[in-house]
Chains A and B, each alone.
Chain A
Amino acid sequence: MKKSEVAKLHFPRRFSAGTVAKKTVVYVVLIALCLAFIVPYLWMIVTSLRTEMAYNSTGFTLLPIDEYGNISFHFENYSEAFSALDLGTVFLNTMIVCVVNTVANLFLNSLAAYAFARLKFFGRNSVFRVCLFSMMVPGTVMLVPNYLICDFLGITDSLTALIMPFLMSIYNIFLLRQQFLGVDKEIEEAAKIEGAGVFRIYFRIVLPLVKPMLIVLGITTFMWNYSNYLWPYIVNTDPALRTLSTSLAELMGADYDLTVKLAGAVIVSAPMIIIFFVLQKFIIGGTMAGAVKG
């Protein structure tokens, strides 16, 4: 076989030239976009492990190098941030608020949602609609009014103020009601015939059937509480009642090295991001399920 002939043999291209070019462009754009999301986080983590002096003396870098160019990890930023944030107390505060609110929220909202879905009572639909419309008032508008009522009730400057105003959420009730409507009625009817009372049917039989939605809503409520800044800032002034967000905001404005501040940001945001990576499926799935109505 002549070599020149052999050279002419070629495998078929899977895609035409045009398609390859198009696909490359798509990937390039998407990866560039990804970088815009990854680089800031990387930079934040890396910078939090350096000293301020090192940071000021070097240009752009994504490695935790010191002023001489050696890689060194300065975990003291983190211990400094720890105490600057008063992490012990603050974390405890945040956890109390998050856990109590989430649990209470899920329980009470599902009670109401079940009532709207399955229980017949006078004025059910009107009450639902009224609540639906009125509780769609945006948060910023409710800010001052809620502050006034808390002041009036005397619960300002307390953890209660962080929990109570968010016990019910019409969004959660709406979604849970949707789920309850989808439960097979016959299961409830069978239980009724067996003699179970309404609450028992709700709690022991129907509620477990909507577990996926409960998990998703639980996660989103927990995360919302965790990140909440504005309300704790407005309603609590006692430093002992700071949450992670308010404490971090204080750290932000105080006179600390930027490396310490970034360390603080990492400490505060890391738990949620880790939970996100672990429970990705639920979080992304839940977002899409809830908001597709559009």
Chain B
Amino acid sequence: MKAQTKQKLKRNATGYAFILPLILYFVVFQLAPMLIALVISFTNYSLEHLTDYTFVGFENFIELFTNSVKYPMFWSSLKTTFFYILLTVPANIILALVVSALLNSKIKGEKFFKTVFYIPSVTVGVAIMVMWQQMLAPDGLINQLFGTNVDFLNNESTALVVFAFMSIWGGLGYNVLIMLSAMKNIDPAMYEAAEIDGAGAVQKFLYITVPGVMPTVFFFLVTGLISGFQVGEQMLIIYGDTTMVQSVYTYVYGLYYTMRRSCDYATASAMSYFLFVIILIITLIQFRVQNGRPKFIQKLIDRRKKGGELVEKV
């Protein structure tokens, strides 16, 4: 008996010894920060109250949501972030689908194209920003090419679009890699069956390719949403802490402002947690969609199916 428990003890000890760094890291750099931030978001810990901070309850959150004098950009920053997601996520998916489909047709040079598209992914982010900043300047490459004179980055109506474009440009390589390998997993016999049935290239794409990579599309949707909500670093690099351009003021950009400029750590913590909640909700929705719908939605769908005749899809 004793020897058995001794062995068991030794096994457990060894196991934990191996994951000790992980546990330590987890406690110090995951758990503790989250707890501290949580607590602080209920205080008024900021530059003015570094030592004499007090517990203020939900005041920080309420101020964020309601006080449009103190936080004029709060809701508009959420709208901007939302708008950015609308610009990037569908475009990313469609572009990845189309480019991957083109690369998947029997052409030479697939490896070459994949490499070229992937170059931005291995270019230092700041360097890419420097490059684009100069390209988008009034006398930069883009304007030279089109003979126009638009200051893209400082123009309210173009700025956000341009950031979306940069993000799509930079992400294409990675997206294509993922999408292409998903496409290659589709059983070629299905294309052959469709070929014999008389399907043309477009039809094969719509009826076989797209449905076949649906899981990947879903993956892009979810990751696109999650990283879309966190957009802000690009703006930070280009404009610094503050910007005159209102249309690029995203939620996270506001977070940076609050952190660096006003040093209002309490509010920043509150904003961080709010972001956390949003992302958590998205993740939960994703989980649900992948693993089954809640019962009441399923009943609605069944009722509709039984009522109708065979629905034809052309």
- For residue B116, CB closer than 8 A to chain A, the reply is yes
The segment from A2-10, A37-45, A187-195 found at the interface with B is A37-45
Interface residues of B (CB under 8 A from A): 11-12, 14-16, 18-19, 21-23, 25-26, 28-34, 36-37, 40, 99, 102-103, 105, 107, 109, 113-120, 122-135, 137, 139, 141, 144-145, 169, 174, 177-178, 181-182, 201, 215-216, 218-219, 226-227, 230, 232-233, 236-238, 240, 252, 255, 259-260, 265, 268-269, 271-273, 275-276, 279, 283
What are 24 A-B residue pairs whose CB atoms fall within 8 Å in the complex?
A26-B107, A33-B99, A37-B119, A43-B135, A108-B21, A108-B22, A119-B11, A138-B230, A145-B272, A148-B269, A149-B28, A149-B29, A152-B36, A167-B21, A229-B126, A229-B237, A248-B127, A251-B130, A252-B130, A268-B124, A272-B123, A284-B114, A287-B174, A292-B181
Interface centre among A121, A251, A292 (most CB of B within 10 A): A121
Q: Is the CB of A146 within 8 A of B124?
A: no
B107 touches A23 (CB 8 A): yes
Which residues from B are CB-within-8-Å of A142?
Answer: 30, 33-34
Query: Is A223 among interface residues, defined by CB-CB distance under 8 A?
Result: yes
Instruction: Report chain B residues within 8 Å CB of A262.
Output: 130-131, 134
CB-based contact B29/A111 at 8 Å: no
Q: Are B117 and A37 in contact (CB under 8 A)?
A: yes
Residue of A nearest to B109 (CB): A30
Q: Chain B residues with Cβ under 8 A from A40's Cβ?
A: 131-132, 135, 141
What is the total of A-B residue contacts with beta carbons within 8 Å?
244
Partner of A140, one of B36, B107, B177, B252: B252
Q: Determine the residue in chain B with the shortest Cβ distance to A142.
A: B33
Shortest Cβ gap from B56 to chain A (Å): 17
Check A284/B177 contact, CB under 8 A, given A137-B30, A145-B34: yes
Query: Closest chain B residue to A124 by CB distance?
Result: B15
- Taking CB as reference atom, which chain A residue is nearest B252? A140
Q: Do A294 and B219 form a contact, CB below 8 Å, given A34-B116, A119-B11, A144-B259? A: yes
Assign chain A's interface to a size class.
35 or more
A248 and B269 contact, CB distance less than 8 A: no
A159 to B115, CA, bound (A): 33
* Contact of B215 with A294 in the complex, beta carbons under 8 Å: yes
B26 with A120: CB separation less than 8 A = no
- What B residues does A116 contact at CB under 8 A? 19
Q: Is the interface of A mostly helix, strand, loop or mixed?
A: helix
Residue of chain B at shortest CB distance from A110: B18
Q: Is the interface of B mostly helix, strand, loop or mixed?
A: helix
Residues of A within 8 A of B (CB): 22-23, 26-27, 29-30, 33-34, 36-41, 43-44, 47, 55-56, 59-60, 108, 111-112, 114-116, 119-122, 124, 127, 131, 134-149, 152-153, 164-165, 167-168, 173, 198, 202, 223, 226-227, 229-230, 233-234, 244-246, 248-249, 251-253, 258, 261-262, 264-266, 268-269, 272-273, 275-277, 280, 283-284, 287-288, 291-292, 294
List, in ascending order, chain B residues with CB within 8 A of A38's CB: 116
Given contacts A120-B15, A244-B124, A248-B127, contact A141 B276 (CB under 8 A): yes
How many Å lie between the Cα of A248 and that of B238 in the bound state? 11
The 4 closest A-B pairs by CB, nearest first: A121-B15, A145-B33, A115-B18, A145-B37
**With A and B bound together, what is the CA distance between A244 and B123 in angstroms?**
12
How far, in whole Å, are A276 and B271 apart by their CA atoms in the complex? 37
Report B268 CB to chain A, min CB distance, Å: 5
